[in-house]
Structure 1
Amino acid sequence: MYKLVLIRHGESEWNKANFFTGWTDIDLSDKGIEEAQNAGRLLKEAQFAFDVAYTSYLKRAIKTLDYVLEEMDLLWIPVYKAWQLNERHYGALQGLSKTTVAQRYGEEQVKLWRRSYNELPPALTKDDKRYPIYDAKYRDIDDEFIPLTESLKETAIRVKYYWNREIKTQIKKGNNVLIVAHGNSLRALLKFLDNLTPGEIIDLDIPTGDPLVYMLDKQLHPVDKYYL
């Protein structure tokens, strides 16, 4: 039996302001810092320990992981950052108020953009300053992998690829793994871990800062899960 712990980063400044964030590199709010520290305390009190941790390239996830590990006195463990664990890219919606977008396009369309499996938000153009290729973090990534927009389906492809290539190997070695990522990259992970349908994924929500524990069998199929 293996244990895997997943945490969505603490509340960010744009979560608080109700903006579409995506790959925009927004920091934690004060509440988000408290959520991250509390997650670390909960894990320590429950006597969890980790051998390795994974996070994205985005500082709201990186800092959440740092706060968790600091509370657990585990800042020394190996940490791997992967762009494949980034939040879903929201294209031209990034930086826009969700309320304003809903007024323009309607609540139902916004729900589809946010929650559905296949729906693509409006894309950026390649000359848009929000296009990640202009960000130094992604300078070593081939242009073909840099999105102009993404559906959850496309997010799931990159998350599953990284899971199969890197994370699964660590778990099967017997290492205790912690993943700190984002609402949609974790929804993508849960879709194939729990074998959810595109219809079921619409109503799946992951709260910020709450450790989600998975118990996995030898084939890495879930046999139990719970929030601390």
Structure 2
Amino acid sequence: MPGSGTLVLLRHGESALNAEGRFTGLLDPPLTCRGRDDADGAAALIAEAGLAPTRIFTSTLRRAIDTADIAARILGITRAPARAWQLNERNYGSLTGRCKAELLSEFGPEVMHFWRRTLYGTPPPMDWEALGRLRRSPALAAVPAGTVQATESLCRVAGRVRDFWHESLRPLLLQGHTVLCVGHGNSLRALCLLLDGLGEAELEGLNIPTGQPLVYRTDGNARPLIRGGRYLDPQAARRAAEKVAAAGGT
């Protein structure tokens, strides 16, 4: 029905750096075999729920693109997913590529929690050489000049996600579309912050599991009918979110 859209959020499947327990950020590793299975399973859940996305958006990073492509193929969608740089993962600054367990030992849980989980916590910036390599990455070629900075807070991610919501997602939901957004732990946390009006404590406790579709049905103003949405497989999503939390979060 026009004016009553559906938004499906999906965090990409496991990537090679996820499997190694490293901060990935804006690096561009491929999916693992398990990650491709994650995408297969997510698409099957979406199909079983009778959801038929009329639009698919993905970030410009390979792990999200491949997840979106797998989902589109299984769902029988021939229209190529649209790439939106606003859905990219946050830049973890000098933490990028480093082992999470080693950093936890080096800096301690309070500092790591501040950098990883809070709205305003900002990791130390990467050096100019690393930033230059990142900006020259093919995956970031479509990102507006100057957008990729040496580090990024979740608040800054929320700003670009908010723009994407108002420019692209909300108009489609108001037209009654079913939209699938394939993103990353932090870009999807930022979208949930906006959709659900989360407080800072709620945001810090929010973990988005990989490969688990989260569905928001919206009203005539594109507001969620159920705060927090609904996972298509609630038990599996809860177990997966608990694993994310046990590892220190996104």
TM beyond 0.5: yes
Q: Percent identity?
A: 37
Which residue does the alignment assign to 1:121? Answer: 123
Change (3 A) 1:136 1:13: closer
Deviations 1:128-161 (A, max 9, x none): 2565222234345443212211110000000111
Per-residue deviation, 1:24: 0.4
RMSD of equivalent CA atoms: 1.4
* Counterparts of 2:179 and 2:219, CA distance in 1: 15
Deviations 1:170-198 (A, max 9, x none): 22222211100000000000001000011
* Counterparts of 2:189 and 2:203, CA distance in 1: 7
* Counterparts of 2:26 and 2:76, CA distance in 1: 29
Which residue does the alignment assign to 2:183? Answer: 181
Change (3 A) 1:140 1:212: closer
Which residue does the alignment assign to 2:160? Answer: 158
What TM-score does the superposition give when structure 1 sets the normalisation length?
0.95
* Counterparts of 1:44 and 1:136, CA distance in 2: 32
Verify the 8 A CA contact 1:124 1:131 in the aligned structure 2: no
Which residue does the alignment assign to 1:204? Answer: 206
Secondary structure class of the residue paired with 2:31: coil
Which residue does the alignment assign to 1:9? Answer: 12
Which residue does the alignment assign to 1:56? Answer: 59
* Counterparts of 1:62 and 1:78, CA distance in 2: 10
Q: Does 2:75 correspond to 1:72?
A: yes
Secondary structure class of the residue paired with 2:180: strand
Structure 2 residues not aligned, in runs of 5+: 233-250
Verify the 8 A CA contact 1:53 1:179 in the aligned structure 2: yes
Verify the 8 A CA contact 1:102 1:110 in the aligned structure 2: yes
* Counterparts of 1:141 and 1:72, CA distance in 2: 29
* Counterparts of 2:69 and 2:91, CA distance in 1: 24
* Counterparts of 1:4 and 1:222, CA distance in 2: 9
Residue identity matched to 2:156: E
Residue identity matched to 1:226: R
Greater mean deviation of Cα atoms: 158-167 or 128-137: 128-137
* Counterparts of 2:117 and 2:212, CA distance in 1: 20
Which residue does the alignment assign to 2:231? Answer: 227
Deviations 1:106-134 (A, max 9, x none): 12211111111100001012222565222
Which residue does the alignment assign to 1:22? Answer: 25
Per-residue deviation, 1:78: 4.4
Deviations 1:37-84 (A, max 9, x none): 01111111221101111010101001111111111111x124210111
Moved over 6 A (4+): none
